[in-house]
Amino acid sequence: DAVLTQSPLSLPVTLGQPASISCTSSQTLLYTDGNTYLNWFQQRPGQSPRRLINRVSNRDSGVPDRFSGSASGTVFTLKISRVEAEDVGVYYCMQDTHSPRTFGQGTKVEIK
Amino acid sequence: QVQLQESGPGLVKPSETLSLTCTVSGISISVHYWSWIRQPPGKGLEWIGSVHYTGSTSYDPSLKSRLTISLDMSKSQFSLNLRSMTAADTAVYYCAERGGGLWGQGILVTVSS
């Protein structure tokens, strides 16, 4: 299985400051079609998860441009350029390349 | 707009079978692969399995012996059957497009006698 390890698991941030979450995969997530299927999700309290980023760096429709995704090998990063109060929640990475699909453990973002 | 709606029981007895259905509206069910994902109380997301309209399925190995996921194109629905339920299966169960672009609102299933 492709194990995804997120860090940190808890991230206290100051409003207006940047935040960064990493997700390290135990194996390559490059699929035979040339795409890397690593997605990022935000789950606000009491809500269903919402996808923010698909295929490493593509923002989903309606996602603010303060969210960005990148990769270096098997290390994937979600960045928030300036944290806003509505960004509080748990963030998950998920790989959709290999079966079984797997999620990271989640990173809880809270305001200091 | 596109909607996914889970339906099924909120309470299941130990050793019984959980049957959930996800109704897809606003999009053809043949366009995507579809997944079931669960989240135990206070914990993270767990992928359960996926199905395609061609009949192709993929299951999490830890659940495979108890699990069946199927799809009914005529009803635009896909379903989950999880046998021999235990307290460890208590969770919010979500249906979703496999890549996670679309989600249902989730249904809490509690396993208790």
**HEC-encoded secondary structure of A37-104:** CEEEEEECCCCCCEEEEECCCEECCCCCCCEEEEEECCEEEEEECCCCHHHCEEEEEEECCCCCCEEC
Answer whether A10's CB lies under 8 Å from A108's CB. yes
- The pLDDT of residue B15 is 97
Q: Best mutation site among A1, A5, A21, A101 for testing chain B: the one with the most B CBs within 10 Å?
A: A101
Q: Choose the mutation target among B1, B36, B45 for the interface with A, i.e. most A CBs under 10 Å.
A: B45
pLDDT of residue A16: 97
Measured at the CA of B73, the angle between CA B111 and CA B39, to 5 degrees, comes to: 30
Q: List the single residue in A with minimal CA-CA distance to B107.
A: A48
On chain B, the residues whose CB falls within 8 A of the CB of A99 are 50, 58
pLDDT of residue A3: 98
Residue of B nearest to A42 (CA): B100
Whether B47 sits inside 8 A of A100 (CB atoms) is yes
**Tens of pLDDT along A5-55?**
999 999 999 999 999 999 999 999 999 999 999 999 999 999 999 999 999
Task: Give the nearest chain B residue to A100 (CA atoms).
Answer: B60
Q: What is the mean pLDDT of chain A?
A: 97
Going by C-alpha positions, the residue among A3, A14, A25 that lies closest to residue A109 is: A14
Condensed to tens digits (0 to 9), the pLDDT of residues B44-54 reads 999 999 999 99
Per residue in B61-87, pLDDT tens?
A: 999 999 999 999 999 999 999 999 999
User: Does B35 contact A at CB distance below 8 Å?
Assistant: yes
Can you spell out the DSSP letters for B7-73?
Answer: ES-SEE-TTS-EEEEEEEESS-TTSS-EEEEEE-TTS--EEEEEE-TTS-EEE-TTTGGGEEEEEEG
CB contact under 8 A, A101 and B104: no
CA–CA gap between residue A39 and residue A44 (Å, rounded): 17
Q: Write out residues 5-34 of A within 8 Å (CB-CB) of B.
A: none
Interface probe with A: pick from B35, B47, B58, most Cβ of A within 10 Å:
B47
pLDDT grade for B107, boundaries at 50, 70 and 90: very high
Any residues with CB less than 8 A from the CB of A104 and at least 6 apart, and which? A4, A5, A6, A23, A92, A93, A94, B44
**B105 falls in which pLDDT band (50, 70, 90)?**
very high
| Cβ atoms A100, B58 nearer than 8 A | yes
